[in-house]
Structure 1
Amino acid sequence: MLTLALPKGRLAMESAEILLSKAWLSALPPEDSKELTYTSPDNRLRLLFVRSQDVCTYVEEGAADAGIVGWDIIKEGKFDLIAPIDLKIGACRLSLASFPDFDLFAKRSKVRVATKYPELTKEYFFSKGISCEVIKLYGSIELAPIVGLSDCIVDLVSTGGTLKANGLKEIEVILESTARLICNRSAFYSKQNELGTLIESLEN
């Protein structure tokens, strides 16, 4: 049996549907279930439902053999994992956003940036040669410039509707993100037959 960590929510169901279509699951987990694990009736696969930010940790530490998670989270955490497949689901982008009149290159001591992605944000501003102060938030990122907490934000964007509703504008895309299959390095070799079969089926 393979253990696979999935992020709770919409991406977990999309992932489960792919696994069902590839015969890795014989039935979908109940959508209204509060259980944090699900074992397929044929005992081929066990699913762990965890926060998206924790998927990589479960896989890297060996609590799960593999997982499905966004490229943005993988890049932010610099995890020691193998990511063999882009599943091309859960598409979104990590973007810089602010009010329409925001000037990234205006003369100021530092740009104050609110984000859940401090490492990718620092890398982006460093590449522009701009000094920044990162304000780490865990939700409602769009509120930060509205109340004067930050000059701009770096956050995930899907449709841009939330930005527009709050008077903000997408300025530049920092990273395109889709869901990837990730594997624990030890499991990639100790369970190479099972993981190899999983990888091959998801590629086709």
Structure 2
Amino acid sequence: MDKVLSHVRQLKRYLLKKTDNTSQRTPENNNHIVTSGSYSEMRIKLLVDSLFVQISFGLVGIANWCHVIGFFSQFWHFGPLVTSEISGFVIRGYSGLWKGCEETGTLCFRPDGGSWLKATQAFETLGFIAAVAALILIVLYVFVPATSGKRIVFILSMVACFIAAGCILLGIIIYGTKMDYNLSWSFALCCIAGIIFAVAGLLLAIDFCKR
């Protein structure tokens, strides 16, 4: 009987020791979980500044793709074209800002539109530079810790969006007034890009006014 009681006492001691060890480790594990959670929250706050900024970032990315494709492609207009290589030689085909091709694609040329085409090229080039600058600045503002939340970076990205929108749409207006028929999809893409940049700039301006 005494042996049985001694075994029971030893078992109780063992169970008490095990319970004490478990209770001592639990706060450490909880602290670890809290620390991990707070680190995740810190990262989210670093990457996500505001809803308007995040929407603007997505819009600027989409607008850049639209403008790059429209800017460099040769499908702004389809119809009778005048080449600069052969004076007075008119052919039918597709034409862009920098290059045109006869509709079968066998003959390509540099389009000749005079001063209005050069003005369109100039404004679209300025819009392209401002668009790239806007994308770089908004990426710096949202994702780079050293520049995230900087007021000057935010203002510059907003201004770059408005400059890109203004230059792109001015080029569109000049081209559209001279070639007001048979406009093609490259022209439409640049038009969409200009509108999207304007919307992104407005969203950034609204976010700026709310602060």
Q: TM-score, normalised by structure 2?
A: 0.25
User: Which structure is larger by alpha-carbon Rg, 1 or 2?
Assistant: 2
Whichever structure has more helix as a proportion of its residues is 2
Whichever structure has more strand as a proportion of its residues is 1
Q: TM-score, normalised by structure 1?
A: 0.25
